[in-house]
Amino acid sequence: MASAALAFDRVAPTYDATFGVNPVGRLFRYVFQERLLRVFPRGARLLDLGCGTGEDALFLASRGRRVVGVDISSAMVEEARAKAVLRGVEPEAVRFLTSSLEQLAPLGSGFDGAYSDFGALNCADLQGAGRALARALRPGAPLVLSLIGARPLPLLLQRLFTGNGEPRGGRDPRVGGIAVPTHYPSRNRLKRAFGAEFAWTSGFALGATLPGPEHAGWATRHPQAFALLAVVESVVRHWPILRGLGDHNVIEGRRR
């Protein structure tokens, strides 16, 4: 966890100028945010787990939700706070705090929902995060969790037809030149780790037909092909066979 915090501290000042303009990442974020609007009503009090520079939290705050964003990287939190001031978001609508996902008790309880974008849970202790969320959420509160997938279909096809592409889980990814310990839990593993306090409903894939954010250059060079794959994905991302084969897999549930 300390290495993850240091890694994201290093990239925080340039994160929005690099990953923030990644066309694949922007599409993934757009689809995820649209889902958040449908799941969480106006006025809902929400937890953003692994808020990064605050893009999702500020999006929801500007649309009538109240959000507390937490991240292990203090530099990311500072970027999020500065962005909130720059955009003129009311302090009552959004707060950003440095915290691990396993230590949410200081934030209080009774939250109306929680979400996590772009794989913050891939670097967390799932059992600890599940226990912390169970205490923080009111009964019936929805969850929308986006985790990095272990077996994205585009990567599987690339390896099948070309022999190229490194499988995930072989070695930890590097962020800011630092190896960040990362695991790739399946839906069933997440369910077991979070325990009986949660019930699970549906989900969908981000990147089941689209290449992942690491292929931003390809998406920029081939905008028509990228757009075509995006349309195909909008049709198939909820299919049971494909919703666990995304670059990111979104898993939805609720606190019992």
For 53, residues 6+ apart whose C-beta sits below 8 A from its C-beta are 12, 15, 16, 20, 76, 79, 80, 83
In the prediction, which pLDDT does 159 show? 87
Q: Give every CB contact of residue 147 below 8 A, 6+ residues apart in sequence.
A: 116, 119, 121, 122, 184, 185, 190, 248, 249, 251
Per-residue pLDDT tens, the chain, 256 aa: give them.
689 999 999 999 999 999 999 999 999 999 999 999 999 999 999 999 999 999 999 999 999 999 999 999 999 999 999 999 999 999 999 999 999 999 999 999 999 999 999 999 999 999 999 999 999 999 999 999 999 999 999 999 988 889 888 888 888 999 999 999 999 999 999 999 999 999 999 999 999 999 999 999 999 999 999 999 999 999 999 999 899 999 999 999 999 9
Outline where DSSP puts E strands in 159-197: 174-175, 178-179
H/E element holding 216? helix 216-221
- How far is it between the farthest Cα atoms of the chain? 52
* Closest alpha carbon to 47 in 90, 4, 3, 109: 109
**What pLDDT is stored for residue 4 in this prediction?**
94
Report in angstroms the alpha-carbon separations of 8 from 125, 144, 148, 190: 18, 23, 17, 24
pLDDT of residue 17: 95
| Counted domains in the chain | 1
Give me the pLDDT at residue 41, please: 98
Query: What is the value of pTM for the model shown?
Result: 0.96
How far is the C-alpha of 183 from the C-alpha of 172, rounded, in Å? Answer: 8
The CATH number for 26's domain is: 3.40.50.150
Domain span holding position 50: 2-255
Closest to 131 (Cα-Cα) out of 106, 97, 99, 102 = 102
